[in-house]
C-alpha cells in the first residue's frame, strides 16, 4: 500500500509584479483524509498547488511533500499524482498512448496504463483519440494520470469540473476510498457545495491568504442554526413573536429566527393560538459562511491563521 505523506506549506508566497497571488500561506495537509482546498476563482489555489508541484518557483517560503520539495523526489509520479487542468492532452493522441508516454517517463510497467484506465472507467475508450473526449472523460483521464504511479499523495485541481452528477458521486466515493487507504488527498474547488460531502478537512484561502483551516464542523457556530416559521396569518405570528421577545427576520418562506430551536417557537405560537403552516430547522448555511470568510466579513477566531504565523 502506498504511503501517504504530510504536505506542508510554510510561509509560501508568490508575487506576480505587484500582485501577491499567494501571501504567506502556511498549512498542513494530513494523510488519511480528503482535504478540501477552497477559495473563489483567482484566490491563489492553483498557484499554490503549482508551487507544491515544482511548476512555479515560490517568491519565498516553501511547500514540501513528506519534507521534500517536489523536484527532490526520487520517483515523483510514484509519490505524488496530480492533475491541474482538464486540457493537458495532445488531441491527436489516444488515451492509452497519452498515459504510456508518462508511464515510460516514470519507468512504470506498461500494465499500469490499462489498470488505471479501468479504475476510472475509461477502458473502452483506451484506443480513442483524446480530441474527441467530453470534458467529463478528460477529467477521468486526468485522474487516470494521477493514479499511474499508485502514489500516496493525490493533488487534484477542480476535479469535479465538467463531471455530471453521476460522475461527481463516483468521484466522491473514489476519493474517500483513496483517503481511507491512508493516502493524502488534496482537492481544490471554488464551490463548497461540490466538496462539502467529500472532505473532512478544509483550507480556505482568499486573495492569497489562508482564512480558515479546520474541519467542516468548526466552520459554523451554534447560532448559525436558524428556524424558519410560517403561518397563514403572518401578522398574528409576527405579533406573537414580538410579544415573546423573539428576534426574527422576514424571508420569503416566512420568518427566520436565528439560534432558536423549533420546539421553542412552536410553543410560542401555540400559546398565542396561531396556527402554523411551516416550522423547520435550517442547518448552518455553509455556503454563506464560506462567502463571509472569503470576503472578510467573518473571522474565525479559533482557527484563523494570522499572517501565516502558526
Partner 1 sequence: MSLANASRSELTKQFTTAMWWILAAVLLAYVGVTAGGLAATFGALSTGAIPAEATNGSAMPSDVIPPLIYSLATSVGYVFPLLIGTLLVTNEFRHKTLTPTFLAVPRRGIALGAKVTAGVVMGLLYAVVALVAAVGVGALALALVGVDTRLGHAETWAMIARMAAAFVLWTLIGIGIGTLVRNQVAAVVGVLAFTQFVEPIARTVATLVDGVSGVTTYLPGAASDALVGASIYTSLGGASASALPWWAGGLVLLGYAAALLLIGYLTSWRRDVA
* Closest by CA position to 189, among listed 175, 203, 207: 203
From residue 20 to residue 59, the character string flagging contacts with partner 1 as x (rule: CB under 8 A) and all else as - is: ---------------------------x--x--xxxxx--
In the numeric block, the cell 467573518 is attached to: 298
Give the DSSP letter string of 53-93: TTSS--SEEEEEETTB-GGG-SSHHHHEEEE--TT-S-TTS
Residue 76's Cα: distance from chain center in Å? 24
For the bound state, the minimum distance from the C-beta of residue 131 to partner 1, rounded and expressed in Å, comes to 10
User: How many residues form the binding site for partner 1 (CB under 8 A)?
Assistant: 37
* From candidates 2, 4, 36, 76, binder to partner 1 by CB under 8 A: 76
Determine the straight-line distance between the first and last CA of the chain, rounded to whole angstroms: 32
Enumerate residues 77-116 that contact partner 1 by CB under 8 A. Answer: 77, 80, 82-85, 87-94, 97-98, 100-102, 104-107
- 164-223 residues in contact with partner 1 (CB under 8 A) are none
What phi and psi values does residue 281 have, to the nearest 5 degrees? -85, 130
Q: Indicate the SS3 state at residue 36.
A: strand
The nearer residue to partner 1, 85 or 306, going by C-beta atoms, is: 85
* 289 contacts 193 by C-beta, under 8 angstroms: no
Select 145 or 290, whichever has its Cβ closest to partner 1. Answer: 145
Give the contact letters, 120-149, x = binds to partner 1 (CB under 8 A), - = no. Answer: -------------------------x----
Interface residues with partner 1 (CB under 8 A)? Answer: 47, 50, 53-57, 70-71, 73-77, 80, 82-85, 87-94, 97-98, 100-102, 104-107, 145
Amino acid at each position: 500500500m502506498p504511503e501517504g505523506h504530510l504536505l506542508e506549506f510554510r510561509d509560501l508566497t508568490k508575487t506576480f509584479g505587484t500582485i501577491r497571488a499567494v501571501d504567506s500561506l502556511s498549512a498542513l495537509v494530513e494523510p488519511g483524509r480528503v482535504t478540501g482546498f477552497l477559495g473563489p476563482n483567482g484566490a491563489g489555489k492553483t498557484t499554490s498547488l503549482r508551487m507544491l508541484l515544482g511548476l512555479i518557483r515560490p517568491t519565498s517560503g516553501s511547500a514540501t511533500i513528506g519534507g521534500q520539495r517536489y523536484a527532490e523526489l526520487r520517483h515523483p509520479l510514484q509519490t505524488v499524482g496530480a492533475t491541474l487542468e482538464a486540457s493537458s492532452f495532445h488531441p491527436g493522441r489516444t488515451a492509452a498512448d497519452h498515459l504510456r508516454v508518462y508511464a515510460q517517463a516514470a519507468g512504470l510497467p506498461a500494465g499500469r496504463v490499462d489498470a488505471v484506465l479501468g479504475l476510472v472507467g475509461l477502458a473502452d475508450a483506451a484506443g480513442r483519440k483524446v480530441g474527441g473526449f467530453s470534458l467529463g472523460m478528460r477529467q477521468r483521464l486526468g485522474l487516470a494520470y494521477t493514479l499511474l504511479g499508485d502514489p500516496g499523495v493525490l493533488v487534484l485541481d477542480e476535479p469535479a469540473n465538467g463531471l455530471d452528477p453521476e460522475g461527481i458521486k463516483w468521484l466522491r466515493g473514489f476519493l474517500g476510498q483513496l483517503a481511507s487507504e491512508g493516502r493524502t488527498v488534496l482537492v481544490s474547488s471554488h464551490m463548497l457545495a461540490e466538496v462539502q460531502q467529500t472532505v473532512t478537512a478544509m483550507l480556505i484561502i482568499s486573495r492569497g491568504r489562508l482564512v480558515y483551516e479546520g474541519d467542516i464542523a468548526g466552520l459554523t457556530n451554534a447560532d448559525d442554526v436558524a428556524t424558519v416559521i410560517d403561518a397563514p396569518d403572518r401578522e398574528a405570528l409576527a405579533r406573537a413573536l414580538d410579544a415573546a421577545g423573539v428576534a426574527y427576520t422576514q424571508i420569503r418562506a416566512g420568518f427566520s429566527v436565528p439560534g432558536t430551536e423549533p420546539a421553542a417557537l412552536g410553543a410560542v405560537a401555540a400559546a398565542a393560538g396561531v396556527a402554523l403552516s411551516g416550522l423547520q430547522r435550517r442547518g448552518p448555511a455553509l455556503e454563506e459562511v464560506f462567502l463571509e470568510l472569503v470576503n472578510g466579513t467573518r473571522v474565525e477566531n479559533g482557527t484563523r491563521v494570522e499572517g501565516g504565523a502558526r
